[in-house]
A and B are shown apart, each in its own frame.
Chain A
Amino acid sequence: MAASDPAGRRQTAGLKKALSSPTLRYLLRRLSQAVLVMLLVIVGSFVLIKLSPGDLVDALAGTRDLTADQMADLRSRYGLDQSVVIQLLHYMLRLVSLDLGYSPLNSAPVLDVLEERWPVTAILVISSVTLSMAIGTLLGVVAARHAGKPVDLGISVLMLILYATPSFIIAVLLMLVFALKLRWMPIAGYETVGAGYTGFQHLWDVVVHLTLPCAALCTFFIAIYGRIGRAAMLEVLSLDFIRTARGKGLSERRVIYVHALRNALLPLVTMAGLQVSSLVGGAVLVETVFGLPGLGRTAFDAVFQRDTNLLLGVVFISSLSVVIVNLLIDLLYVLLDPRVNLK
C-alpha cells in the first residue's frame, strides 16, 4: 500500500529525512535549548526563594517557639548555613529528581498535588489550541478569499476587538451572559458535584463545564491565527502553483482549502508552540474565574496562602510541559515540511 500511495511515500521520505544527520543535529540543538529553559526556571525559582522575606526556619519559628540555638541547628540541618552556590546545587539536584518539596497548604508533597490538578489544565489548553487554530484559520482563510470586501472588513474588526480584550474579561463576560443571565451554562466547577454521572454522561458534563472557560481562553488566539492565517493565505495565493491549479480547472474551493491552505499552515504551527506557553498563564485567570481545580487555580491559591513550594512547583511543571510540547512541535515541523530550514 505504501509504495503506490503518494501520501505514504511522502511520510517514509519524511521519516528518512528525520533520521539523517542535519535533522538529528537540529533536534539535539532543540533538546539542549529545552534543558537551558529548565535550568533558567530552576535558577529563577532559587533566586525568588532567596529574595522572599524570611527563610524556611523563620516560617517554622512562626508556628512554634524556637530558641536561637534550635534555629541555628535547624538551619544547618536544612543546609541553609552553607554557601549560596552549594544551596543552589542542592536545589537543582532536588528539582531534577522531581522532588518539588512539601505543600503545607495541602499537607501533601507538591508533586502529588500537581499530579491531581494537571489534567484539567491539560484538557483546557489542548482544546483551546485546537479550537482557536481551527476557528482562527478558517476566519483568516475566509477573509483572505474575500480580501477587501465587506466580509473581510467585518472579520478584521472582529479580530481587532478580540485581540484587544484580555481573556479574564471575556471569561467574566461569558459567565455573566451565559451562566448568570441566560442560565444556559453552569457557573463554575469542573463537573456537577454529587451528580454521580458515569461514562458518557460524565464526559458530557465535563464538556459543558469546560465550554465557557475554553471559549474565554480561545478568543485572543482566534484573533492571532486569523491575522497570521489571512496574511499567509494572501501570500500563498499569489504564487505560481496556485495559478497552475486554477488553470487545471480545479474548483476555487479545492484550490483554497487543499492547495493553498496546506502551504499556509506552517506559520500557524509555529504559533502553536508560543500559544501553549501563553495559555498556561491565561489558565490562571480563567480557572480562577470559573473555579476549576487546575494548575492555574492552584497557583492562585498558593500565592494567597504563601505556599511558595507549591507556587514554584506549578511554574516548574508548567514550564516542563511547555518545553516538551515545543519539542514535539519541532519534530512535527520536520515531518510536515521537508524543505524546512533547520537553523
Chain B
Amino acid sequence: MRLSRDTAAFRLISHPSGAIGLILLILVAAMAVSAGWLFPAGPWTMVGAPRVWPGADPRFPLGTDSMGRDILTELFYGSRVSLAIGIVSALVSLVFGTLVGAIAGYYGRWIDDLLMRLTDAVQTIPSFLAAIAIVGVIGPSLTTITIAIAIVSWPMIARLVRADFLKLRSLDFVQSCRIIGMSDLRIIFTQILPNCLAPIIVSSSVLVATAIIVEASLSFLGLGDPNVMSWGTILNVGRQELRSGWYMTAIPALALVVTVLALNLISDALNDSLNPRLKERS
C-alpha cells in the first residue's frame, strides 16, 4: 500500500503536465499565504493615483485600478478568496456527493433509483443560473456563495462514487465482510470507499477549478461577497475601464486562467498516475 502510494506520487511529479500544474498551483498558494505579510495595508486602501499603467510607477508594478488601489495587492488577496472558496465548496460537495453516491451504490434497488433520479435532476437544472438565484435571493456572502457552488456541483461526484460502489459491492471481499457480520456503515467507509478514492481525487481537482470559475463569474457580475476582494471583483471594476485600461481586466483574467489551467493539468496527471492502465488509451 505504502509503496504504491509512493509510486503514484512520484508519477504525478514526474508527469510533465503534473509538474507544471503543481508549480503553478504552489505559486498561487504562496500568493495567498503571503498576502498579509507583504501587503499589510490590505487590498481596499487607496495608495496612489487611479489608472496608473503597469510599469509606469515602480511602487505599483502592476498598476492601479480606477479607485487608486494597487492591483498587485488585490491580486494577492484575491488568490486567498479564490483558493478558499474553491477548496471549501469542493470539500462540501465532495462529502455530500460521496455520501449520496455511496448509499445509492451500496444499497441499490429503489434507494439507488430515487437518489440517482434526484442527482440527474439537479444536473439538468442550469447550474450557474441556479447559483445566481440562490446568491441573489438570499444575499451574497462567502457562505451563500460556497453553499450555492456546493449545491450545484455534488452530482458529478455522486455519479462517480455510485458507479464504483455498484462494481465493488458484489466482489468477494465485500461479501466476506458481510459474512463476518460487519455493519453496513463499516463496510461502506472502511472497505469499499478506500477502493474508489482514485476517481474522487482526480475529480476533486476539477471541482476546485469549477468552483473558482463560478465564484469569479459571480463576483464579475457584482454578486460576490462585498467584504472580500476576489479576482472577480477586480474584473468587475476593470470592466468599466475596458476601453482605456484593459490591463485591469487582463491581469486578473490571466491569474484566473493560470490557476484553473494548473488545476486541470494536475487532474490530468492524477488521472494518468492513479490509473496507469488507462494511459495507453488516451
Seen from chain A, the residues whose Cβ lies within 8 Å of a Cβ on chain B are 33, 36-37, 39-41, 44-45, 48-49, 51-53, 160-161, 163-166, 168-169, 172-173, 175-176, 180, 231, 234-235, 274, 277-278, 280-282, 284-285, 288-289, 296, 299-300, 302-304, 308, 311-312, 314-315, 318-319, 322-323, 326
Contacts and interface: CB of A to CB of B under 8 A. Distances in A.
A37 B265 CA distance: 34
Which residue among B121, B235, B260 has the maximum number of chain A CB atoms within 10 Å of its CB?
Answer: B121
A49 to B, nearest CB: 7
**Nearest 9 A/B pairs, CB to CB:** A281-B128, A303-B136, A164-B261, A280-B126, A164-B260, A37-B121, A281-B126, A48-B137, A169-B253
B127 A277 contact: yes
B223 A303 contact: yes
22 contacts: A44-B130, A51-B137, A160-B261, A164-B209, A164-B260, A165-B260, A172-B239, A231-B281, A231-B282, A278-B127, A280-B129, A281-B130, A281-B131, A284-B128, A285-B128, A288-B221, A303-B221, A308-B137, A312-B133, A318-B126, A319-B125, A326-B124
Contacts of B129: 280-281, 284, 296, 299, 314-315, 318
A44 B126 CA distance: 13
Which residue among A48, A160, A168, A300 has the maximum number of chain B CB atoms within 10 Å of its CB?
Answer: A168
Nearest to A304: B222
Interface string B211-252: 001001100111100000000000100010011001001100
Contact of B257 (A36, A164, A288, A323): A164
B138 interface: yes
Interface residues of B, number: 45
Given A172-B249, A285-B221, A180 B117 contact: no
B242 A176 contact: yes
Given A33-B121, A172-B239, 20 more contacts: A37-B124, A40-B125, A44-B125, A45-B133, A48-B134, A48-B137, A51-B138, A164-B209, A164-B264, A172-B242, A173-B249, A176-B249, A280-B126, A281-B128, A281-B129, A285-B221, A289-B239, A303-B136, A308-B137, A311-B136
Contacts of B222: 304
Contact of B121 (A40, A49, A163, A314): A40
B127 A180 contact: no
Contacts of B216: 166
Given A40-B121, A180-B243, A165 B126 contact: no
Contact of B137 (A49, A280, A326): A49
B150 interface: no
B158 interface: no
B91 interface: no
B38 interface: no
A315 B133 contact: yes
A164 B25 CA distance: 14
A256 B216 CA distance: 41
A282 B128 contact: yes
A33 B120 contact: yes
A172 to B, nearest CB: 6
Contacts of A277: 123-127
B118 interface: yes
A168 B220 contact: yes
B13 interface: no
Nearest to A280: B126
Contact of B253 (A173, A234, A311): A173
